Amino acid sequence: MSGLAIHEARLLGRLHALGQIGRDGENRLTRLAASDTDRAGRDALVGWLREADLDVVVDRIGNIFGIWRTHANAAEAPLLLGSHIDTVIDAGIYDGCYGVLAGLEVIETLRAAGLTPVRPIAVAAFTNEEGVRYAPDMMGSLVHAGGLSVEEALASIGTDGTTLGAELERIGYAGVAEPGFLRPHAYVELHIEQGPVLEREGVPIGAVATLQGISWQRVVMEGTANHAGTTPMSMRRDAGYAAARVIAFVNEQARKAHDPSVATVGCIAFEPNAINVIPARATFTVDLRDPDEARLAAGEAALAIFLDEVAASEGVSVSVERLARFSPVAFDAGIVALIEQAAAGRGLAYQRMTSGAGHDAQMMARMAPAAMIFVPSLGGISHNPREHTPQADLVAGANVLLDVVACLADA
């Protein structure tokens, strides 16, 4: 293994500095893709990449790459590290940012040690991993891996009616490099687990071998606005009640299935949204996930049947828009084993696991051997300002990444 150690204060200092960028008056952190706060986060990252004397490239979907191209290895396919720095609404400071900044930290540590790896090493911050403003999520890495055309991605319309391409232009991150210009030799992503497993097991390192399938849909149910006081229950076409039945259905289905299947209705809006008007329209999202493709597909089919049943019984119309659909992914067994060796080499307990969250690595696995390293999330909490990982775990994860990179890049 490398025998080196990352510069703790530099990594932790940058993580906390980035975590202050994009806070509102109530101190809530939100950097939605291609927003003004995302621009501020991107500017900070580009500044650190430049300070590290990396070759900074921005591609047409706004993915940011910092490339360490020493003369000795210019021709080789780079080893790529990275994650994302866009956030959900009212986010924590570690999701995505930890992997990007640890990737940069590993490059700076290897360079400061005077090593010249056989392979170039690059770190990426992919655009719109969260998918909160523009769907699908993991968009920048999906485009990079060729799973979505850059034109289609740039034309995507946000929840606020904006177009991603115009917003990237506005914030100055509509790059010129063609997506996929950098074909990595391998991709390794360090990330907080965002779930309860590692903390519950008392294990500091997760070697992520698989990542579950994801299905995102937006459902619109149309009924009839009417008077809340005068309309008999038997005469209602209540889109709000119809939506409530569907929300109950997907939750009961997932609870009935068994642990790995999960279902979430995270967004809902009623129109006209007035206390004394029967909702004419209900718009809501359904996020289904399962490590088993057949079970995920069965959950989607059961939902489709139930939507038809509710439409008929409540007299509402239903339209469904698919926002994202990714099958479960198995990561590269060789890199997973290397992660376990690196953890063992540092005397750290580790365990092989699956990821409940979506990550850029699942897109990068389409174009190169890929795997992930997890560190624990306190209370299993994430996508929440209380997201937290103890400093010792953050440093341990970055040092394991350092050893994996030193090996893969032949430093």
Please report, as ranges, the residues that interact with ligand HGY according to CB under 6 A: 129-131, 137, 357-358
User: Distances from the Cα of 119 to the Cαs of 116, 140, 236, 305, 361, in angstroms?
Assistant: 8, 24, 66, 52, 20
Between 73 and 128, whose beta carbon lies closer to ligand HGY?
Answer: 128
Between 59 and 129, whose beta carbon lies closer to ligand HGY?
Answer: 129
Give min distance, CB of 35 to ligand HGY, in A.
Answer: 16
Q: Is 365 helix (H, G, I), strand (E, B) or coil?
A: coil
Report residue 14 CA to chain centroid gap: 20
Tell me which residue has its CB nearest to ligand HGY: 358
Give min distance, CB of 358 to ligand HGY, in A.
Answer: 3
Half-sphere exposure of 404 (CA within 13 A, CB side): 33
Residue 96 interacts, among ligand HGY, Mn ion, none and using kind-specific CB cut-offs from 5 to 8 Å, with Mn ion
**What ranges in 174-227 are assigned the alpha helix state H?**
197-201
Residue 137 interacts, among Mn ion, ligand HGY, none and using kind-specific CB cut-offs from 5 to 8 Å, with ligand HGY
Q: Is 337 helix (H, G, I), strand (E, B) or coil?
A: helix
d(CA 15, CA 395): 12
Give min distance, CB of 387 to ligand HGY, in A.
Answer: 12
Site for Mn ion in 222-281 (CB under 5 A): none
Residue 131 interacts, among Mn ion, ligand HGY, none and using kind-specific CB cut-offs from 5 to 8 Å, with ligand HGY
Q: Is 382 helix (H, G, I), strand (E, B) or coil?
A: coil
Strands 329-330 and 317-326: unpaired
Between 92 and 358, whose beta carbon lies closer to ligand HGY?
Answer: 358
Helix/strand number for the chain, H first, E second: 12, 14
Residue 387 interacts, among ligand HGY, Mn ion, none and using kind-specific CB cut-offs from 5 to 8 Å, with none
Helix then strand then coil, in percent of the chain rounded to 5, is 35, 20, 40
**Does position 397 bind Mn ion by CB under 5 A?**
no
Strand partners, 288: 215, 263
Task: Give the binding-site size for Mn ion (rule: CB under 5 A).
Answer: 4
Between 11 and 243, whose beta carbon lies closer to Mn ion?
Answer: 11
Between 137 and 189, whose beta carbon lies closer to ligand HGY?
Answer: 137
d(CA 57, CA 8): 26
Over the window 347 to 366, marking each residue x when it contacts Mn ion by CB under 5 A and - when it does not, the resulting string is ----------x-x-------
Give min distance, CB of 110 to Mn ion, in A.
Answer: 24
Between 274 and 330, whose beta carbon lies closer to ligand HGY?
Answer: 330
Strand partners, 191: 374
Between 68 and 126, whose beta carbon lies closer to ligand HGY?
Answer: 126
Between 291 and 358, whose beta carbon lies closer to ligand HGY?
Answer: 358
Residue 341 and residue 158 in contact, taking contact as beta carbons nearer than 8 Å? no
Amino acid at 259: D
Closest among 343, 355, 345, 339 to 405, alpha carbons compared: 339
Residue 314 interacts, among ligand HGY, Mn ion, none and using kind-specific CB cut-offs from 5 to 8 Å, with none
Considering Cα of 373, then 299, then 132, then 181, what sign does the dihedral take?
A: positive
Among 78, 96, 184, 376, binds Mn ion (CB under 5 A): 96
Give min distance, CB of 238 to Mn ion, in A.
Answer: 34
Between 134 and 270, whose beta carbon lies closer to ligand HGY?
Answer: 134
User: Distances from the Cα of 244 to the Cαs of 277, 282, 283, 307, in angstroms?
Assistant: 16, 9, 11, 11
Give min distance, CB of 130 to ligand HGY, in A.
Answer: 5
Give min distance, CB of 173 to Mn ion, in A.
Answer: 19
Give min distance, CB of 232 to Mn ion, in A.
Answer: 45
Give min distance, CB of 357 to ligand HGY, in A.
Answer: 4
Site of interaction with Mn ion (CB under 5 A): 95-96, 357, 359
